[in-house]
Structure 1
Amino acid sequence: MSLTAAGAISEHTVPSEKAFSTDDKSFDGKGDVETATVDADSDSEEGVLSNERDIATHVISVDDDPSLNPWTFRAFFIGLGLSTFGGVLAEIYYFKPQTVLVSLMFIAVVSYILGVFMETFIPRRGLLRYLNPGPFNKKENAFIVIMASASANSALGTEVLAVQRLYYNITPNAGASVFLLFSSQLLGYGIGGMMRSILLYPSKMLYPGVLPLLSMFDALFEGGMAARRKLRVFYIYLFWELFPEWIFPLLTGLSIMCLAVPNNAAVSRVFGGTNGNEGLGLLSFCFDWQYISSGVNPMTIPLKAQFSNFLGYLLCMVVFVAVYYNNIWKAQNFPFLSQLLFYENGTQYDQTLILNANYEVDPTLLAEQGVPYYSSTWIVYLLSSNLGLAATFTHLLLWNWDDMRSAWSWMTLSSIKKTWANFDWKFWQADGMRTQDVDDEDIDPHYKQMLKYPDAPNSWYFVVFLVAFVISLVVLYKTNSTLPWWGFLISLLLATVSILFFCALAAITGLMFIIQPFVQMIGGYLHKGLPVANMYFVLYGYNSVTQANLLLRDLKIAQYAKLPPRAAFTAQILGTLLGAILNFIMMNSIIDNQREILLSVQGTNIWSGQQPQMYNSQAIAWGGLSNELFSAGQRYQWVPWAYVIGLFIPVPFWVIHRYWPKLRADYLYTPIIAYFIGWLCVGINSSILSYFSVAFVSQWWLRRRYPRWFAKYNYIIAAALDGGTQVMVFILSFAVQGAGGTSHLFPAWWGANQGGNYDHCLYLN
């Protein structure tokens, strides 16, 4: 995916829980692990975890049972089924007004339920014993989760294809389209897989975001019936989602201000938020979990990280309102929230009128149409994203220098040479994984357990990269992408360098920030006047980084769960290929049935084109009009300058903490604050108050007052809420919301206002 509704923060872009303790010391505001309690059932502070090795060995079980077999019919059957489900659901969510990620914990819960069902009801006699070889085990569950996880992402290539269909009236050949998705999804896999010895095996590479999943695995497979009883909330919420999603949409955002003053435009902009691009959702209360938990589950993020998030949210409302009502960048000529391009008079910009037959910007035609405008709140988002991206470098260098130095010692030239020298060119290696990939003193205890299993050799990942590389070049020239071969090579070089550093930061800190605007800027200045080329440049330069991070994250799941490497490799490749096909089918189906809604500014509560609108407008702006819009002296010159300013944002806070530590400036995570200043630029915003309320209840009240209950149930309930919600959204999308054809909306009544915004605010667009 390109961007989440959080603007630039996804489930990988906020520092995740590194240790699930019963106190509030596991996160120190710097991305470091300070202390965490080993015994989740104790209120004492004895037995603390001081480093990543301690966390990896105490939070997650290190034990391995080699007799557990993941290569079962049951694992493939459920894995392919959930991969189908996840691939379809991810693409549905791509065309929703609020981008929601398919949760790993949701996949784990559903696969566990299905696995136990097959274990219980399929006889073990005769030939049926092959369908039910015994109790459903942890390695089967991990195999299924990794396969479905690889499928349950909307491929960025579908954005390119969707934009071409919606805005260029181009319908690429189906075969070429599918191969485009295959190649763009697998290039990052190949690059990331060949960097495993640097980005996966060392203890420093903790991948804190997967710890809740592995903690849940331990609970499910070691807790017997008690663990299964924890899943009852899954079934409860499965049916609750019927109400806000279909029967009673007012529950998406109950706004007292909108009900009291329904015909006021200012009230709608500030207090409205149940529909896409409606308003800021101030004081609205949401009862729809899919929006509360969109992007990142509030029950899994530490309170200190949430505090920085909250400060950014408050600043976002202030800045958005100030920019709009002071008419900065002629803000009042355009919708308050939008991702589209506009003429100065506020009408939607027709980009086809400035492009020639080769989809290049024609200076003569541009002079006739004029340089387009963005809505001003979208410019604030671009500024805040760039500020946050640059601030991340400085913040990590100042606050996490020891971690960075330790990790980057793995990235020296000698280390890379060592990796290449040990490169295994045998396509099928019979012995186990090689211990020389990692120094003994730094070896991850979980990785050490994996040495007994045959590795998936580097040559496998190299072949994946080589095949994807060749296919990409062929597709680029067969689809008239306008991206030359040398531009493609530069995008891959940029992706490789980004994978090396940004994926290391994600593995250590849990922070994976969005580099798409940066890649778009580079592509724009390399290929001036070529918006379509910019889309393809971003596809290969940015999507490869995302895919590498997903591959490494899933390989860490396999390592923690002791799933053999070749099983993990098989699951990832199958899931990725199946997901790409399903993404393509669903994209075409939704565009065929909802085209007019996807082209509108606000869309509906059910469908929205905000993602392709965003991708298209960015491609036109950076790829076609970078000089006219963003160069020095131009209208939006401060957008690229924000990269420079952002480098200095963390410095004052670091100085304050260094000399006046009692002021607790270390509590502020400046990149997150900067990112979230543009948070509310898109989507449904009525869920924000509920998001922070749930976070406070979970991460402060329950964690501090009821630590044993928190340790036992918090993450199980988080997974069940995600699971129940997403299952029902999947069913409703096809049954009543028109994903596969005609919509069947619930009969109009006061709680399902179908003539405007669901919260009864004034409809502005």
Structure 2
Amino acid sequence: MITETVEWTPDATDEKSYYIKGDIETTTQEAETDENVVLQNERDIATHVISVDDDPSLNPWTFRTFFIGLGLSAFGGSLAQIYYFKPQTVYVSLMFLAIISYVIGLAMETFIPRHGLLRYLNPGPFNKKENAFIIIMCSAAANSALATEVLAVQRLYYNVTPNAGSSIFLLFSSQLLGYGIGGLMRGILLYPSKMLYPGVLPLLSMFDAFYRDGVEARQRLKVFYFVFTAIFIWEIFPEWIFPLLTGLSIFCLAAPNNAAVSRVFGGSNGNEGLGLLSICFDWQYISSNAGNPMTIPLWAQLSSFIGYILCMVVFVAVFYNNIWESQNFPFLAQLLFYENGTVYDQTLIMNSNYEVDPTLVAEQGLPFYTGTWIINLLSTNLGLAATFTHLLLWNKDDLRAAWTWMNMDTLRSWRANFDWKFWKHGGKREVPANTEDLDPHYREILKYPDAPNSWYLLTLVLSFTVGLVVIYETNSTLPWWGFVIAVLLAAVSILFFGALYAITGINIPIQTLVQMIAGYLHNGRPMANMFFVLYSYNTVSQALLLLRDLKIAQYAKLPPRAAFTAQIIGTLLGAVLNYVLTNSIIDNQREILLSVQGTNIWSGQQPQAYNSQAIAWGGLAHQLFSADQRYQWVPLSYLIGLVAPIPFWIIHRYWQRLRMDYYYIPIICYYVGALGVGINSSVVSYYMVSFLCQWWLRTRYPRWFVKYNYLVGAALDGGTQVMVLILSFAVQGAAGKAHLIPEWWGANQGGNYDRCLSL
């Protein structure tokens, strides 16, 4: 399905249907002569939307780069950890950091004199490579490390407080392990054109608008500023003044007291309903539904849309047929419940060693999940398993390249050329004789010294060694062999799910898979389950983050060694800040974090949920999920997922006119459970925007698509996220007491904003 010439329209198999003159591998210079080109594949997008030009004279190694980068990394890392313990979860936006760094860089360029010693503070115009360096550093720092979640659960629920040294090294090893593995897979998951990383295209399109000279660049910049300002002002309405705009449902307004209407058509509040036919006017939720709808490829959008339709049908069928006693519990929820519908008290089934006691479980009874959450687990497992089969069927040649090094000749060559003085590596690379087939952006990067594989290998070895020591120093209860299995599982997952993420922009989390495996490997030990998830699921997440940011560097022509340096500094700084703030907040807000409801300022919802999942999978996997048990189909769904893509592949092989290659089975499977949590009123608006941009605008007005689609997407994301951040602190209680708009018809503060019945 996904080859070097992935088709984007149903009739693209016929050469005559291509709008591009000549070969589809046309270079940027040739393609620019045709303003009406229709972008058909990843290479077209990467060379038309983003500038391939490079100016080697631009210097990213400036004082200004490190001053802004370290400052914003500290800000982003601190803010991310504070948000982790807030009742309103907000993520620090990469687009927001990009805009702020650009503004600060311009200010330093404008107001700092350039004479004398001050020229080191202001060496000249703030350039794109400086900005890219800063963004990559901030991106690595502005995350709440999963290891702090483990440390928080240990302190809050197990009364275990690892020493500062062990905790810091736990953070370092778990954050950098994925960097080492992901870095070694750059040749497969980063350099090829087909590894597009659609999510970064708005950012790079914005960069081009900021830094290109000429009339056209100024025109694009005006469009960016106009859209940014317009959405910045508009977001005040759905976010604060007129929250009904979050989900406008005619059915809810017509039947405000009907429970069935609320479950199916409601969706403006968390865990309210499925949001069928609701219209959302809040870009924050439209863009966060499955990524910016203006950037995800059309065929991926179509597959997820099919999954959403199936999700609504399956959820309603499960609930109203009372499968798994679903009607005893809320329609949408993620907690564990007693059979009578009250919240399950997990502390009553653990002994003094914080291991699950079978006698106490017999007294309390086994917990229940809501039926819709079980479907969410099932569909995630289907999507995970289907990814392996799908990629092996459609992308076997691409994946085979990942293992070409496993032959005696290559290993002998490595041993012969190995130099333990890795810091003296010159970074020279063998440039292929024929560079025309290379990705044009990668071809430009070849002129710079590489961050060699030995650097990433050293990062992997050190992280692995430190992690092996730390799991014993922190009383994790995870044995060494469990740690090794977690890392090996992560390495295989990075190859498959990294390819899925790079091609489609959609990330399927592997948390349920590794929780299940850990549950059976380390039965009765919830804490071991948490550490297993940390060194497997988090390793995959960090690898994808590394590869995404390296793609930003490749598109921006930032030298590889600068990108490596930025990522390592940002990761280490962010980890230290995460740890310091976690301890401070737990010390001062412990009782609130342990309470069920929390306050409007602090909440322990995230460590509570992580701990609950560890109890269910780590302590009760055999009783809940094994054969003949209540939720046996959750693990069995992996077997179904493995065979799900095969019929579609067979049909396409013999009846190609049916275009089965246009449906991405892992995405369809995954989205069958996608409405199991959160605000769902944005689904209709999301697909309206996606089909408008990725089909109508791309095919009918290709020139406008090339010039403005990703730029406008960047402006919408940036303006929205800046306003959301301001409102979070100013009126929504992220920094103190909330100041909601007084109640009126468009702001139903006493219930659901769309006026559906509160269940």
Q: TM-score range by the shorter chain?
A: 0.7 to 0.9
Q: Say if 1:596 and 1:748 are closer, same or farther in 2 by CA, change over 3 A.
A: farther
In structure 1, the residue matched to 2:688 is 693
Q: Give 1:353 shift.
A: 0.9
Mapped to 1, the partners of 2:188 and 2:165 lie a distance apart of 36
* Range with bigger deviation, 407-416 or 530-539: 407-416
CA deviations 1:400-427 (Å, max 9, x no partner) are 3443445554666755665565454224
Question: For the residues of structure 2 that align with 1:177 and 1:87, how far apart are their CA atoms?
Answer: 17
Whether 2:532 is the aligned partner of 1:542: answer: no
Shift of residue 439, structure 1, vs aligned partner: 10
Deviations 1:573-617, CA, capped at 9 Å, x for gaps: 12112323444466668776798699659x999998665454333
**Which amino acid counterpart does residue 259 of structure 1 have in structure 2?**
L
User: Which moved further from structure 2: 98-107 or 299-308?
Assistant: 98-107
Q: SS in structure 2 opposite 1:560?
A: helix
For 2:58, the equivalent position in structure 1 comes to: 68
- 2 CA distance for matches of 1:746 and 1:164? 39
Q: Of the candidates 223, 228, 233, which is equivalent to residue 230 of structure 1?
A: 223
1:188: which partner in 2? 178
The one of 720, 728, 736 aligned to 2:723: 728
The match for 1:626 is 621
Q: Please tell me whether the aligned partners of residues 272 and 679 of structure 2 are also in contact (alpha carbons under 8 angstroms).
A: yes
Q: Mark the CA change 1:432 to 1:488 in structure 2 (over 3 Å): closer, same or farther.
A: closer
Q: Residue type matched to 1:217 in 2? A: F
| Alignment match, 2:268 | 274
Quote the residue 2:666 is aligned against: 671
Aligned runs of 1:144-543 on 2, under 5 Å? Answer: 144-164=134-154, 176-197=166-187, 199-201=189-191, 207=197, 209-223=199-213, 224-232=217-225, 233-294=227-288, 295-406=290-401, 408-409=403-404, 415=410, 418=413, 422-429=417-424, 431-435=426-430, 446-504=441-499, 506-507=501-502, 512-543=507-538
Q: Is the 8 A contact 1:423 1:458 kept in 2?
A: no
1:62-101 equivalences in 2 (<5 Å): 62-88=52-78, 90-91=80-81
CA contact (8 A) 2:253 2:754 kept: yes
Report the residue type matching 2:143 in the other structure: N
Q: Displacement of 1:346 after TM fit?
A: 1.0
**8 Å CA contact 1:111, 1:144 repeated in 2:** yes
Aligned to 2:108: 118
The alignment partner of 1:573 has SS state of helix
Q: Does the residue aligned with 2:573 lie in a helix, a strand or coil?
A: helix
Identity among equivalent pairs (%): 71
Secondary structure (helix, strand or coil) at the match of 1:403 reads helix
1:87-114 deviation per Cα after TM superposition (whole angstroms, max 9, x unaligned): 3554566568897765544443443343
Q: Which deviates the most, 502-511 or 237-246?
A: 502-511
Q: Does 1:640 align with 2:639?
A: no
- Distance in 2, Cα, partners of 1:730 & 1:174: 32
In the other structure, the counterpart of 2:572 is 577
Deviation at 1:372, TM superposition (A): 1.0
C-alpha distance in 1 between matches for 2:425 and 2:669: 50
Q: CA deviation at 1:762?
A: 2.0
The 3 A distance-change label for structure 1 pair 209 and 729 is closer
Structure 1 residues 60 and 725 mapped into 2: Cα distance closer, same or farther (>3 Å)? Answer: closer
> Which residue of structure 2 lines up, in the alignment, with residue 11 of structure 1?
none
Closer, same or farther: CA 226–649 of 1 in aligned 2, 3 Å: same
- Does the 8 Å contact 1:649/1:670 carry over to 2? yes
Change (3 A) 1:50 1:244: closer
Aligned to 1:6: none
TM-score using structure 1 length: 0.87
Residue aligned with 1:433, SS: coil
Amino acid at match of 2:694: Q
Question: 2:128–2:207: 8 Å Cα contact kept in structure 1?
Answer: yes
TM-score, scaled relative to structure 2: 0.87
TM superposition shift of 1:344? 1.0
3-state secondary structure, aligned to 1:435: coil
User: Where do 5+ consecutive residues of structure 1 fail to align?
Assistant: 1-13
| Matches of 1:524 and 1:597, distance apart in 2 | 26
Q: 2:242 is aligned with what amino acid?
A: F
RMSD across aligned positions (CA): 3.8
**CA shift in 2, pair 1:419/1:97, >3 Å:** farther
Local SS of the residue matching 2:424: coil
Distance 1:195 1:700 in 2: 33
